[in-house]
Amino acid sequence: MTGPLLNRNTPPHILTLVIATATGALAMNVFLPSLPGIARHFNADYALVQLAVSLYLAATAVLQLFIGPASDRFGRRPVMLTCFAIFLVGSVATICAPTIELLLAARLLQAFSAAGMVLSRAIVRDTVSTDEAASKIGYITMGMSVVPMVGPAIGGILDEMYGWQASFLLTLGFGVLAFAVVFFDLGETNHSRSTSMMAQVKGYPELMRARRFWGYTLTAAFTSGTFFAFLGGGPYVSTEMLGLRPSQYGYYFALISVGYMAGNFLSGRFSRRIGINTMMLMGCTAAVIGLIGALTLFGAGYYHALSLFGPTVLVGLGNGMTLPNANAGIVSVRPHLAGSASGLGGSMQIGGGAVLAMVAGALLGPQTGPWPLLFVMLGSSVAAVLAALYVMHVARKAGEI
């Protein structure tokens, strides 16, 4: 599926897809250590500032409903370039925002970076088979996971040295790079375009009648929800309860990203051999084990950063094993609706994550301890296990989708 680098007449190089996907990850993660500082700067409640995470996720969920069908109608290349241009406008606005309300509005524009994630999956499915798609998506997300691994650490250092705006300036610079690489390397892969966007939207009922689509989507949604809940509540627990500085939060967050990268590697290495459904179940189970470990450590009175971040490495590992396979399943249930399936499935996946991020942020307070965050994450992980088991149950019934 990989063409030569910087050739607009061939399928994109895998590095281009990594950079495109990583843009949204950077916009999501790099400023997390600055959330408490942003709250102080604007004299705003943490629950309001945390909307910079959950509103971004919610906007990403809504946009995916349109990005997928638009790419099926107009092509992957023009849609991705348009979305990245809007992302750049939003990135400039975050740096200049004079109020928290305008900062939140700018974050909505940054959500157009979702095109990188949605369309990379569709581009992979345009060019390879289902099992190979899981492998390719695994390698793409493994490469992309370098960004969330180092992003919060860099963001924390920038915050302490130059203030919270520095993280958004870094995001703008990376966005310019991503736009340039996509412009010069992304050849069109959608060679059977739909006649209209509505034709693809009309395919949503067909997708939603497919039980495997629901199973894969719910598995991805609850798996992502575990991680997004951590994004919503983790900075508060780390800084206000465990006393970490922004840079320290970034360093510890890298542990989760290392786990995620390892899970992506396992997906790329073994998905074709043992199947996407088994890989999903193994990943979901690893996340549950990790969260039980965190609850045990805090319950025993070990209030230390490693009590939170150590076991959460297994959450990263589990997500890295689950998500590439669940996403490959989503776009393969109805291959002729790959773009729409990626958009609709991704919308449900990230929309659920936005809700859990808001819940985790809202439940935490000075007297709660880390318990609301950990129980929300555990509940989401258990639900992911049940969804994966449902997919395997349906798959055992021959010919029933």
Contact partners, residue 125, CB within 8 Å, separation at least 6:
133, 328, 331, 332, 335, 338, 342
- C-alpha 333/C-alpha 343 separation (Å) is 14
Average pLDDT over residues 75-82: 93
The dihedral region occupied by 319, where left means phi > 0, alpha psi between -120 and 50, and beta the remainder, is alpha
What sign for the dihedral angle of Cα 324, 134, 331, 212? negative
pLDDT of 253 > 50? The answer is: yes
What does each C-alpha distance from 369 to 39, 58, 234, 251, 346 come to in angstroms? 20, 27, 12, 22, 32
- 295 or 399, which is more confident? 295
Q: Are 327 and 137 in contact (CB under 8 A)?
A: yes
Instruction: Among 112-116, 124-128, 247-251, 292-296, name the one with the lowest average pLDDT.
Output: 124-128
- C-alpha 361/C-alpha 365 separation (Å) is 9
**Half-sphere CA count of 98, side-chain side, radius 13 A:** 0
Tens digit of each residue's pLDDT (9 = 90 or more) over 146-195: 777 688 889 989 998 999 999 999 999 999 999 999 999 988 887 777 66
Q: Which residues of 64-77 are buried (b: 16+ CB within 10 A; e: fewer)?
A: bbbbbbbbbbbbbb
> What is the pLDDT, as a whole number, of residue 401?
45
3-state secondary structure of 163: coil
Element (H, E) at 145: none
Tens digit of each residue's pLDDT (9 = 90 or more) over 297-307: 999 999 999 99
In a domain, 190, yes or no: no
> What is the pLDDT, as a whole number, of residue 132?
72
Contact partners, residue 65, CB within 8 Å, separation at least 6:
343, 344, 347
Q: How confident is the model at residue 199 (pLDDT cuts 50, 70, 90)?
A: low
DSSP H helices in 163-240: 165-185, 197-201, 204-208, 211-236
Other C-beta atoms lying within 10 Å of the C-beta of residue 256? 28
- Residue 347: name the closest of 74, 174, 117 by CA: 117
Average pLDDT over residues 279-308: 95
In a domain, 44, yes or no: yes
DSSP H helices in 300-370: 305-332, 338-363
> What is the pLDDT, as a whole number, of residue 66?
84
- Residue 392: name the closest of 211, 190, 250 by CA: 211
> What is the pLDDT, as a whole number, of residue 311?
93
3-state secondary structure of 276: helix
> What is the pLDDT, as a whole number, of residue 360?
84
Residue 295 belongs to domain with CATH number: 1.20.1250.20
Tens digit of each residue's pLDDT (9 = 90 or more) over 208-230: 888 889 999 999 999 989 988 89
> What is the pLDDT, as a whole number, of residue 1?
46
Please give the mean pLDDT across all residues of the chain: 86
Q: Are 6 and 184 in contact (CB under 8 A)?
A: yes
Give the best-scoring range by mean pLDDT among 98-102, 232-236, 332-336, 347-351: 98-102
- 345 or 200, which is more confident? 345
Q: How many domains does the chain have?
A: 1
Domain housing 312: 14-185+201-395
Chain CA centroid to CA 205, Å: 25
In a domain, 194, yes or no: no
- C-alpha 193/C-alpha 87 separation (Å) is 25
> What is the pLDDT, as a whole number, of residue 143?
64
Structure tokens at 167: 């993280």
Instruction: DSSP letter for 328, please.
Output: H
pLDDT of 12 > 50? The answer is: yes
11 by Cβ neighbours in 10 Å (0-12 / 13-18 / 19+) ranks as buried
What sign for the dihedral angle of Cα 142, 144, 145, 146? positive
pLDDT of 35 > 70? The answer is: yes
In a domain, 140, yes or no: yes
